[in-house]
Every structure is written in structure tokens, then in C-alpha cells.
Amino acid sequence: MTITRHHSRLPCGSRELDLSRTHVMGILNITPDSFSDGGRYNRLDAALLHVEQMLSAGATLIDVGGESTRPGAALVSVQEEVDRVVPMVEAINARFDTVVSIDTSTPEVIRGAAGVGAGLINDIRALQRDGAMQVAVDTGLAVCLMHMQGEPQTMQQAPVYESVLDEVNNFLGRRVQACLDAGIERRRLVLDPGFGFGKSLQHNLELFAAMQQVRPLDLPLLVGVSRKSMIGQALGRPVDQRLSGGLALATLAVVKGARIIRVHDVAQTVDAVRMAEAVLAAAQN
């Protein structure tokens, strides 16, 4: 059974996403230490070729990240993150007609990227870093608020919940209200339950199973599980053998109402998403 989340369109800067269907967000990591593709796309030409390939395969958003958020990742200076992300966003926006998302919590990166065409702030810290909320207000971009217990350096050491669903819902509800109080329109908000961010395998599985109950229900969901350790732990697979598990989760996420699926393997995920949507559409006829 699917849950209908009511926002039909998401304004993303100068572009807009039609949320009557599920979108595939292609990941572009421009970091030396990301968990599955660190260092592969640091050069501009290699990165732009990869963006072109992802868009040709059916991605409708590109998520640019200049700071690894894998467990135990090293911190990156503000200037280094700005220097990685802003020129890349500018180059993508100049060459391609797509929504560019920025995977960042850093106000300076948000402001700089907004000035060169970014459309979505994808913030694992849900605008809690000093200055991030005000920059989000000032830029007028769409915002994805994610739940994370702890910080990337330590989040997987010993995550504990009495009820993972209740705690995720309570956190996201508070952050949505903080955004509304600051002046961010509700129609600009997206939620991410934060799979793999301060959660054990059991926490992740319970949260995924209960995805239809993630609140507030009228906001669209972004789901990112591509190549993550929950797949490796459930199936006993290394990072380079997690595609099948990721496709299974992407298909389930569509059925459960997700509207943006964040992935490394775009072509395969687009096929899985479209097949799931075809079955769901037939059921509604």
C-alpha cells in the first residue's frame, strides 16, 4: 500500500520537480575519501562526464558532495569544501538542464552554490549548523532535512533508541517547525529518515519497514540507501556487490511512497523505479 504525500511540485531555485512520480538523484562525490567512489570524480572533466552519463540514464537531480559523511570521515575545512563544490555546481548548471542538489551543512557552501545555480540543500544536519538556517531562508532553495543521531565521526559506535520511528519523527517534526518559524515555506521541504546515520542494522530495517509512518506525512520523502552498510550487513556483501540489495530497497521505497531515491547506480535504479511505478499505476486503474 502506498502513502500519498501531498506536495505535487517542489520548487528548486529556477527549476521545479514534479513529484507525481519518483525521481532518481545521481550521486556525485567530489571527495578523496567517500566510502564507495572516493577520488574518482575529483577532476572536472571526469565529473562532468559522469554527470552526463547519469542524466542520460534517467537521473533528474545531481547531488554534489564535497565532504565525506561516511562513519569516521575526516572533517573538511570550510574553504576546501567551498572550493570543491561551488565551481562544480557552476559547471554542471552551465552545461546541463537539471536540478543540482548540494550535499552540505556549511552555510558558506550553501550561499556560494545558490549563487551559481543550485536548487536543493541536502543537509544531513537538518540546518542545525550555525548560520545554515538563515542562509536557507535567504537563498530560497528547497531543503531536505535528514535525521542523524550524533556526528559522522562517531555515529555508528553505539547507536541506541527506545523507538527509532518515534525518535526520527520527533526530530523531523521539530526541524520542520523550526524551518516554518524561520520563514521557509512548507512546500520547499523534503524529509530523509537518515538510513545508516547513527543507526544499527536492526534500526535501519525497522525504520524502512515503517516508512509510511514517517511524519509529517504531507512532506515528500528522500531515501538514500545506495551501497550502504545495511545492505552489506544483511546480505554479507562488500561495497562493490550491493547493487541487487539496493535495487530491492529502491523498489520497496517507491511502493512505500518515496519521491526521491538517491543512488550511485542510476541506470539500474531508474529501471527498477519505473517498473514499480508501472505496477502501481495498473493497480489504480
Segments making up each domain of the chain, as ranges: 9-284
Q: What pLDDT does residue 38 have?
A: 46
Q: What pLDDT does residue 1 have?
A: 43
Instruction: Tell me: pLDDT of 7 over 80.
Output: no
Q: What's the pLDDT band for 2 if we cut at 50, 70, 90?
A: very low
Q: What pLDDT does residue 76 have?
A: 86
Q: Which residues are catalytic?
A: 228, 262
Q: What pLDDT does residue 75 have?
A: 78
Query: Please, what is the average pLDDT of the chain?
Result: 92
Q: What is the pLDDT of residues 65-95, one digit of tens each?
A: 998 777 666 778 999 999 999 999 999 999 9
How far, in Å, CA of 99 to CA of 118, rounded?
A: 7
Nearest to 23 by CA among 34, 44, 7: 7
203 touches 159 (CB < 8 A): yes
Q: What is the pLDDT of residues 168-202, one digit of tens each?
A: 999 999 999 999 999 999 999 999 999 999 999 99
Q: What are the DSSP calls for 167-205, one per residue? A: HHHHHHHHHHHHHHHHT--GGGEEEE--TTSS--HHHHH
Across 132-144, average pLDDT? 98
Nearest to 70 by CA among 100, 24, 40, 103: 103
CATH of domain 9-284: 3.20.20.20
Instruction: Tell me: pLDDT of 58 over 70.
Output: yes
Q: What is the pLDDT of residues 25-56, one digit of tens each?
A: 999 999 874 444 445 656 889 899 999 999 99
Greater pLDDT, 151 or 31: 31
Percent of the chain topping pLDDT 90 = 82
Q: Is the pTM higher than 0.75?
A: yes
Q: What pLDDT does residue 189 have?
A: 98
Greater pLDDT, 167 or 283: 167
Instruction: Tell me: pLDDT of 156 over 70.
Output: no
Please confirm whether the linkage preceding 216 is cis (ω < 30° from 0). yes
